[in-house]
């Protein structure tokens, strides 16, 4: 069961998370792009192992529909933030790549985010330790079940 200190820690975490999200949205708008555009650019820049991503992969990262993500990619393309390129090894694959302008935007906005996240380190630790004192029911051994 959770006690008061755990609820306090979880409440503080949710409060700080909401603050961070508002900060993130404002940082994107201050650079002249929407929060959704920033997230798409961030996910392309941060995609593991390569400098591009597909619409399907970005939809997964954004937790959005394929159609909605494709529309967001089109808006970013019209605004000169991404380019689409046929895959070199598989022509059926469309690679979404950042333009130099987009890489610069992501770098500036992410720098602000890194500073804000560093300030939240104490909150993350408190929230993750909130679950440490939760009493969990003992595991039942399958052989002991009747």
- The structure's pTM equals 0.80
Per-residue pLDDT of the chain (146 residues; tens, 9 = 90+): 778 988 888 898 899 889 999 999 999 999 999 999 999 999 999 999 999 999 999 999 999 999 999 999 999 999 999 999 998 888 888 999 999 999 999 999 999 888 788 877 777 776 677 666 544 444 444 444 43
Domains and CATH numbers, the chain: 4-129 (1.10.10.10)
Closest CA to 42 of 98, 106, 104: 106
Q: Is the dihedral of CA 106, 102, 72, 70 positive or negative?
A: negative
């Amino acid at each position: 069961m959770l006690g008061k200190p755990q609820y306090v820690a979880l409440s503080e975490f949710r409060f700080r998370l909401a603050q961070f999200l508002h900060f993130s949205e404002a940082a994107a708008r201050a650079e002249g792009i929407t929060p959704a555009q920033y997230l798409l650019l961030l996910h392309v820049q941060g995609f593991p192992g390569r400098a591009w991503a597909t619409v399907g992969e970005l939809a997964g990262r954004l937790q959005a529909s394929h159609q909605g993500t494709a529309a967001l990619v089109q808006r970013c393309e019209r605004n000169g933030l991404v380019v689409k390129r046929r895959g070199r090894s598989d022509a059926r694959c469309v690679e979404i790549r950042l333009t130099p302008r987009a890489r610069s935007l992501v770098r500036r906005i992410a720098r602000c985010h890194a500073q804000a996240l560093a300030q939240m380190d104490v909150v993350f630790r408190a929230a993750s330790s909130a679950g440490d004192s939760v009493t969990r029911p003992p595991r039942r051994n399958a052989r002991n079940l009747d």
